């Protein structure tokens, strides 16, 4: 998808920009460019290409979200031609304009050095999952939640979730399609709480295996509905066997809410800073 | 639209049901049946007719929301044939089924007496209005918020809002199309607060004039962006002249969140009660 990292880092003809993205994943085949439908990557790269007078622009993202998965805080970087006159506001508004009418918007943009990488510089990823737990199907939140009809015990799910925190072999919660070299991951946060009819999961780790969050939620839901005792979640983890885990929760309820960097490129030089327009260096 | 109240109240052939509704108003011409598009009323009455084996069923609603206005707690009543065997769960799930695939869902249903009226028995209506206050257009909340790009001072809006509480002649905030006999209304609540990029209005009154909430929000937004001093809001109210008010805020940000009754028909005998299924009396 992108030029080899070595080539990019040494080229004087490239300027790299970090962008903060929001999107409704329901309309797309996922982040990654595919032959069979519209991807967020293809829309973003096409918008960046328009901003560059038709030249190809490659992107790298912090998290390649699946079809149907949303984002309120996705981060990507784009390599623009070095000769282009850009500033944070122009990148943010220009990309958002060219992304119309698709439900993808650029919230912020900041110039970064060529050794900064949206994927490899990320210190953590944060996801939110929402279950709408009531009898009636969603009307206002359709496509944004997993609708579970039978009553769920959020307290039991929260307790079971705590046994998964820390560094483990997460093979039980890993999709067969996962391409990661190791199933070891460190789960830093897995909060579960009820807010009226909604059950909210807040999940954080340096990185995740493919489908890990959805498999965790699908497994905890087995506890919530009473089909699994709480301790079976930890037993499933220890089994290191996908067949011992619960089902994969649907993508609708999932959103990438944030990616952590140190320092945060947007806090330093983003378009949202209400000061003089910054020029790309 | 409905039979005269007298006739309904004395007929032994009718059973009246209260229903609690959620809908995404973006797809509709509004609550009220119209020649030029799909209304929520027509969908609901058609669904009720299907549940009644093809017989006409009339509805009365607590609030006839405009095109684009949403609801998370709308209430209506439906007059079904008296001979029909109904229970709360069957009404809720049957209507929700026949309302597919439209973004309208029945959250609860309860049998009510023939002198109970969704409109006239209502003690108050509660609305929520949401402004997304940031540079970039919404992707995830498209159609559910008013997007205002320039920074708004929520504290100034909140202070100005408090001068509107209580019983007043609200002619300044009344649409020319309003059919109410009197412009006098009692505003019981008009809270304004910021939650990140979102500015939330919570509004409550026994009843509202046509466009009253949207005209109040549009006027307060003039204070928020600094074009109006705070005291001009009260001066506009005192002028009793629509031309002295601010613009009408778009419908997208508005949702009817609840209607108050004493007693609450759904608390008494709604489908959400986890007990034996109740039969309509």
Q: How far apart are CA A191 and CA A168, in angstroms?
A: 17
Q: Where in chain A is CATH 3.30.70.580?
A: 5-121
Its sign, for the CA torsion A216, A218, A219, A223, is positive
* Residue B57 tokens, joined: 């069923």
Name the residue of chain A whose CA is nearest to B70's CA.
Answer: A140
Enumerate residues 233 to 262 of chain A having a beta carbon within 8 A of any beta carbon in chain B: 255
Q: Is the pLDDT of residue B279 over 50?
A: no
Helix (H) or strand (E) holding A268: helix A265-269
Closest CA to A250 of A128, A68, A28: A68
Q: Quick check: helix, strand or coil at residue B28?
A: coil
Average pLDDT over residues A123-148: 97
pLDDT tens profile A180-192 = 999 999 999 999 9
Closest CA to A69 of A141, A128, A139: A128
Q: What share of chain B is helix, strand, coil (3-state, %, to 5)?
A: 30, 30, 45
CATH topology for A5-121 is: Alpha-Beta Plaits (3.30.70)
Q: How far apart are CA A32 and CA A42, in angstroms?
A: 8
From chain B, pick out residues whose CB is under 8 angstroms from the CB of A23.
139-140
Q: How far apart are CA A37 and CA A47, in angstroms?
A: 17
Q: Please name the residue that has the structure tokens 């009898």.
A: A135
> Residue B11: its pLDDT value, please?
57
pLDDT tens profile B235-278 = 999 999 999 999 999 999 999 999 999 999 998 666 764 333 33
Q: Please provide the DSSP assignment of B114-166 as one string.
A: TT--TTTT--EEEEEEEEEESSSPPSTTTTTSEEE-S---HHHHHHHHHTT-E
* Residue A50 tokens, joined: 């328009």
pLDDT tens profile A216-261 = 999 999 999 999 999 999 999 999 999 999 999 999 999 999 999 9
Average pLDDT over residues A18-26: 97
Q: How far apart are CA B99 and CA A222, in angstroms?
A: 30
Q: Is the pLDDT of residue B186 over 50?
A: yes
Mean pLDDT, chain A, as a whole number? 92
Q: Do B157 and B192 form a contact (C-beta atoms < 8 A)? A: yes
- Taking the Cβ of residue A106 and every Cβ of chain B, the question of whether any pair is shorter than 8 Å is answered with yes
Pairing of β B70-81 and β B254-260: parallel
Indicate whether this complex's ipTM tops 0.85.
yes
> Residue B272: its pLDDT value, please?
62
Give the least confident one: A7-11, A72-76, A84-88.
A7-11
Bridge-partner residues for A22, per DSSP?
A: A105
Average pLDDT over residues A105-131: 97
> Residue B35: its pLDDT value, please?
87
Enumerate residues 149 to 208 of chain B having a beta carbon within 8 A of any beta carbon in chain A: 151
List Cβ neighbours of B187 (8 Å cut-off, separation of 6 or more).
B164, B165, B166, B168, B170, B203, B204, B205
* Residue A62 tokens, joined: 């912090």
* Residue B23 tokens, joined: 């809908």
To the question of whether residue B129 is assigned a binding role by annotation, the answer is no
Q: How far apart are CA A83 and CA A255, in angstroms?
A: 36
- Taking the Cβ of residue B136 and every Cβ of chain A, the question of whether any pair is shorter than 8 Å is answered with yes
Q: Is the pLDDT of residue A3 over 50?
A: no
List Cβ neighbours of A145 (8 Å cut-off, separation of 6 or more).
A130, A131, A132, A138, A198, A252, A253
Inter-chain CB proximity A24 and B140 less than 8 Å: yes
The CATH architecture to which B124-257 belongs is 2-Layer Sandwich (3.30)
Inter-chain CB proximity B140 and A93 less than 8 Å: no
Closest CA to B278 of B101, B111, B124: B111
Closest-CA distance of chain B to residue A240, Å: 36
Inter-chain CB proximity A136 and B92 less than 8 Å: yes
Helix (H) or strand (E) holding A171: none
- Give percent of chain A with pLDDT exceeding 70: 91
Q: Do B43 and B102 form a contact (C-beta atoms < 8 A)? A: yes
Q: Where in chain B is CATH 3.30.70.660?
A: 124-257
Q: Do B173 and B156 form a contact (C-beta atoms < 8 A)? A: no
How many CB pairs below 8 Å do chains A and B form together? Answer: 72
- Taking the Cβ of residue B275 and every Cβ of chain A, the question of whether any pair is shorter than 8 Å is answered with no
Average pLDDT over residues B199-215: 97
Q: Do B30 and B41 form a contact (C-beta atoms < 8 A)? A: no
pLDDT tens profile B209-233 = 999 999 999 999 999 999 999 999 9
> Residue B12: its pLDDT value, please?
65
Give the least confident one: A9-13, A187-191, B43-47, B178-182.
A9-13
Q: How far apart are CA B112 and CA A54, in angstroms?
A: 65
Task: Identify the active-site residue in B6, B13, B46, B66.
Answer: B66
Inter-chain CB proximity B139 and A105 less than 8 Å: yes
Q: How far apart are CA A270 and CA A118, in angstroms?
A: 15
Average pLDDT over residues B117-127: 98
CA atoms within 13 A on the CB side of B104: 29
């Amino acid at each position: 998808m992108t030029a080899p990292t070595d080539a990019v880092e040494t080229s004087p003809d490239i300027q790299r920009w970090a962008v903060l993205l929001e999107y409704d994943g329901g309309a797309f085949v996922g982040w990654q460019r595919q032959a069979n439908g519209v991807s967020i990557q293809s829309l973003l790269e096409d918008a960046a290409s328009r901003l560059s007078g038709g030249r190809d622009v490659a992107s790298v993202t912090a998290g390649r979200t699946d079809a149907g998965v949303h984002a309120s805080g996705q981060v990507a970087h784009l390599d623009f031609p070095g000769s282009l006159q850009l500033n944070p506001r122009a990148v943010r508004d220009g990309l958002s304009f060219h992304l119309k009418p698709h439900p993808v918007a650029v919230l912020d943009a900041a110039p970064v050095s060529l050794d900064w990488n949206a994927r490899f510089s990320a210190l953590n990823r944060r996801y939110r999952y929402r279950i709408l737990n009531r009898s009636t199907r969603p009307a206002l939140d359709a496509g944004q939640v997993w609708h579970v009809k039978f009553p769920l015990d959020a307290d039991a799910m929260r307790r079971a979730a705590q046994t998964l925190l820390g560094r483990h072999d997460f093979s039980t919660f890993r999709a067969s399609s996962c391409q990661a070299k190791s199933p070891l991951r460190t789960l830093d946060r897995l909060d579960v709480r009820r807010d009226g009819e909604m059950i909210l999961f807040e999940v954080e780790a340096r990185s995740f295996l493919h489908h890990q969050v959805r498999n965790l939620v699908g497994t905890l839901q087995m506890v919530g509905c009473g089909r699994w005792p709480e301790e079976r979640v930890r037993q499933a983890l220890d089994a290191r066997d996908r067949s011992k885990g619960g089902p994969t929760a649907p993508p609708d309820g999932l959103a990438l809410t944030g990616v952590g960097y140190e320092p945060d490129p947007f806090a330093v030089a983003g378009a949202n800073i209400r000061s003089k327009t910054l020029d790309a260096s």
